[in-house]
Amino acid sequence: MAVTDQPRSYAIRTYGCQMNEHDSERIAGLLEADGLVLADSDESADVVVFNTCCIRENADNKFYGHLGRFKTLKEERPDMEIIVSGCLAQKDRDQIAARAGHVDVVVGTHNVHRAVELLHESRRNGPITEIWDEALDDEATFPSALAVRREVDWSAWVTIQVGCDNTCAYCIVPAVRGREISRPFGELLTEVERLSADGVREITLLGQNVNSYGRDLTSARRSLEPSSEDAAIVGAQWLDDRRARPLFADLLAAVSNIDGIDRVRFTSPHPKDLREDTIAAMASNPSVCPHLHFPLQSGSDRVLALMHRGYTAERYLEKLAAARAGIEDLAVTTDIIVGYPGETEEDFERTLEVTAAAEYDSAYTFIFSPREGTEAADMVDQFCDPAAVADRFDRLRVVVERSALAKHMARIGRTETIIVEGPSKRDPEVLSGRTSQNKLVHFRSDRPLRSGTLATALITDASPHFLRGELVEVLSVSRHRTRFAVTAG
Ligand code: SAH
Ligand code: SF4
Ligand code: F3S
């Protein structure tokens, strides 16, 4: 390695969901603690991290394509070091080093905290692949409890639960993220208090199935005698409550009552586990945003059963109606899979019907992708014809966009509270902000506004994917300082 006065620099490419985004912040925190600085570009970085996803095949392909391009770069600059982390690393393990000899470190989802140590080890002993089958200690289990370099200063992700105990037949997540483990209640509150003191005004609680948060905590603690240590883990108020029950509603209420936290978001709740107490907690705590991401996956009961989703279309719509009745002005978004093995035209029509009935504000729609090791991947003889699937995908988009546009048009003329995110990607003259319903608003302002500023905007125009507006008033400027590394936990 060349010795220069310049600190070494790093870049991270993140694929996949917010879990991975958050893990990337932890890896950035570890690298900065090791003396590295953020690079101007991926290509110029001394250490490049690929934090990978394997939810669908195109996620795999995208990563391997990018990694291939870095082979030439590394030949030109042998000093460059490459780390591959995340879900695809967990899934493909030794295959990554076998396919790409230019990778220095392969690290999985259960040992992210080891990334920098492994990098040091690889400098001494050559390329290294280290994958754990499960998290072996708290540091490994609870990502938020590490040094973090947050991507945004005024908004933070807080992992409340890792892993997933569900068995959706198409999904690779349980295999790569392990069983569901909830993070201690008291610890979460301490972390959010600390984030608030640092100027964070928006918190997003993260988990694959947030509604079951705490189920394992109470059951694990049932047989123990109360002690102050237990109180920190399950929360003092549950010490006499020995039943295994989810605590998500209590967590929502507690987090939203922390001073300085204006907005609380969460993702994702599983429809089978959405309970009345969660709806009530959303309704009665004004800082909990009126937005529910409510993944439908399919509108056909037959397909839902094949997927092991644990609800019927009717039950789903009932829960949605209860949420809309309880929470004023609720925005609802969803995930839908098209072309699940065995999906008939009739099944798909049910999906169109439920989608229309649910009147979504937006939807992520996916074409089924077989993931090796999952039940659905073995249903090869029932895979759908790709041309039929492409046609269904387009028809579904039309239905989603129809309700999205109607929802957005209905907001024209209203004044919405937004948090400013920064200049819009397309036009630096235009600023973008987000409403509590998580809608993007593009607006012009005659003065620059710092990201994180709370303001109001009059909505003047709408499209299926965003709103346009005019700045009305600045309510409070952002409290956050300049960028800094936070040590939480
Ligand atoms: N835990 C979250 C989902 C995480 S994965 C939940 O249950 O809501 C995000 C989305 O990816 C899923 O909701 C599903 O719609 C989609 N997905 C997962 N596996 C898939 C696969 N094999 N093919 C296509 N889409 C998939
Ligand atoms: Fe995957 Fe289902 Fe778990 Fe979501 S709930 S992560 S779709 S297994
Ligand atoms: Fe992808 Fe892993 Fe998230 S597979 S969607 S990054 S949990």
For residues 268-291, one letter each, b for 16 or more C-beta atoms within 10 angstroms of the residue's C-beta and e for the rest, the string is bbbbbbbbebbbebbbebebbbbb
Q: How far is CA 131 from CA 78, 86, 137, 175, in A?
A: 25, 10, 14, 13
Do 165 and 277 share a domain, yes or no? yes
Residue that terminates a domain, selected from 392, 410, 428: 410
Residue that terminates a domain, selected from 358, 381, 410: 410
Task: Evaluate whether residue 197 is within a structural domain.
Answer: yes
Candidate of 14, 20, 210 to mutate for ligand 3, largest count of ligand atoms within 8 Å of Cβ: 20
Angle between helices 248-256 and 185-197 (to 10 degrees): 20
- For the chain, 489 residues long, give each residue's pLDDT as a single digit of tens: 555 578 999 999 999 998 898 899 889 999 999 999 999 988 899 999 999 999 999 989 989 999 999 999 999 999 999 999 999 999 999 999 999 989 999 999 999 999 999 999 999 999 999 999 987 766 656 555 556 667 778 999 898 988 999 999 999 999 999 999 888 888 889 889 999 999 999 999 999 999 999 888 876 665 555 566 666 666 776 766 666 677 899 999 999 999 999 999 999 899 999 999 999 999 999 999 999 999 999 999 999 999 999 999 999 999 999 999 999 999 999 999 999 999 999 999 999 999 999 999 999 999 999 999 999 999 999 999 999 999 999 999 999 999 999 999 999 999 999 999 998 888 878 999 999 999 999 998 888 899 999 999 999 999 999 999 999 999 988 776 544 333 332
Here the CATH number for the domain that contains residue 177 is 3.30.750.210
Task: Evaluate whether residue 485 is within a structural domain.
Answer: no
Q: Atom 4, ligand 1: which residue's CA is nearest? A: 208
Residues 235, 186 contacting (CB under 8 angstroms): yes
Distance in Å, CA 171 to ligand 2 centroid: 6
Q: What is the pLDDT of residue 140?
A: 58
Here the CATH number for the domain that contains residue 424 is 2.40.50.140
> Which atom of ligand 3 is found nearest the CA of 20?
6
Distance in Å, CA 304 to ligand 2 centroid: 13
**Other beta carbons within 10 Å of 476:** 11
Rg, the chain, Cα only = 23
Task: Evaluate whether residue 343 is within a structural domain.
Answer: yes
Task: Evaluate whether residue 437 is within a structural domain.
Answer: yes
Do 392 and 265 share a domain, yes or no? no
Question: What is the phi/psi pair of residue 366, to 5°?
Answer: -130, 145
Q: Which amino acid is at 21?
A: E
Do 400 and 444 share a domain, yes or no? no
Do 157 and 284 share a domain, yes or no? yes
Distance of CA 300 to the CA centre of its chain: 26
Q: What is the pLDDT of residue 485?
A: 36
Do 109 and 189 share a domain, yes or no? no
Do 68 and 36 share a domain, yes or no? yes
Do 329 and 299 share a domain, yes or no? yes
For residues 398-430, one letter each, b for 16 or more C-beta atoms within 10 angstroms of the residue's C-beta and e for the rest, the string is ebbbebbeebbeebeeeebbbbbbebbeeeeee
Q: What is the pLDDT of residue 18?
A: 85
Do 158 and 283 share a domain, yes or no? yes
The C-alpha torsion from 105 through 110 and 112 to 113, rounded to 10°, is -120
> Which atom of ligand 1 is found nearest the CA of 172?
19
Q: What is the pLDDT of residue 186?
A: 84
Ligand closest in space to the Cα of 310: 2
DSSP string, 59-98: HHHHHHHHHHHHHHHHHH-TT-EEEEEEHHHHHHTHHHHH
Do 369 and 434 share a domain, yes or no? no
The span from the CA of 88 to the CA of 96, in Å, is 9
Task: Tell me what percent of the chain is helix, strand and coil, each rounded to the nearest 5.
Answer: 40, 20, 40
Ligand closest in space to the Cα of 268: 1
Do 308 and 198 share a domain, yes or no? no
Residues 49, 118 contacting (CB under 8 angstroms): no
Do 250 and 373 share a domain, yes or no? no
Residue that terminates a domain, selected from 394, 410, 426: 410
Pairing of β 331-338 and β 155-159 = unpaired
pTM for the full predicted model: 0.92
Q: What is the pLDDT of residue 214?
A: 87
Q: What is the pLDDT of residue 138?
A: 60
Distance in Å, CA 173 to ligand 3 centroid: 6
Here the CATH number for the domain that contains residue 78 is 3.40.50.12160
Question: What is the phi/psi pair of residue 367, to 5°?
Answer: -90, 135
Task: Evaluate whether residue 3 is within a structural domain.
Answer: no
Q: How many CA atoms lie within 13 A of 441 on its CB side?
A: 32
Residues 24, 110 contacting (CB under 8 angstroms): no
DSSP string, 254-290: HHHTSTT--EEEEE---GGG--HHHHHHHHH-TTB-S
For residues 97-115, one letter each, b for 16 or more C-beta atoms within 10 angstroms of the residue's C-beta and e for the rest, the string is beebebbbbbbbbbbbbbb
Here the CATH number for the domain that contains residue 332 is 3.30.750.200
The span from the CA of 127 to the CA of 406, in Å, is 54
Q: Which domain holds residue 449?
A: 415-476
Task: Evaluate whether residue 140 is within a structural domain.
Answer: no
Task: Evaluate whether residue 105 is within a structural domain.
Answer: yes
Question: What is the phi/psi pair of residue 264, to 5°?
Answer: -120, 125
Do 392 and 442 share a domain, yes or no? no
Number of domains composing the chain: 4
Residues paired with 487 in a beta bridge: 147
Task: Evaluate whether residue 144 is within a structural domain.
Answer: no
Q: Is 171 in the pocket of ligand 2 (CB under 6 A)?
A: yes
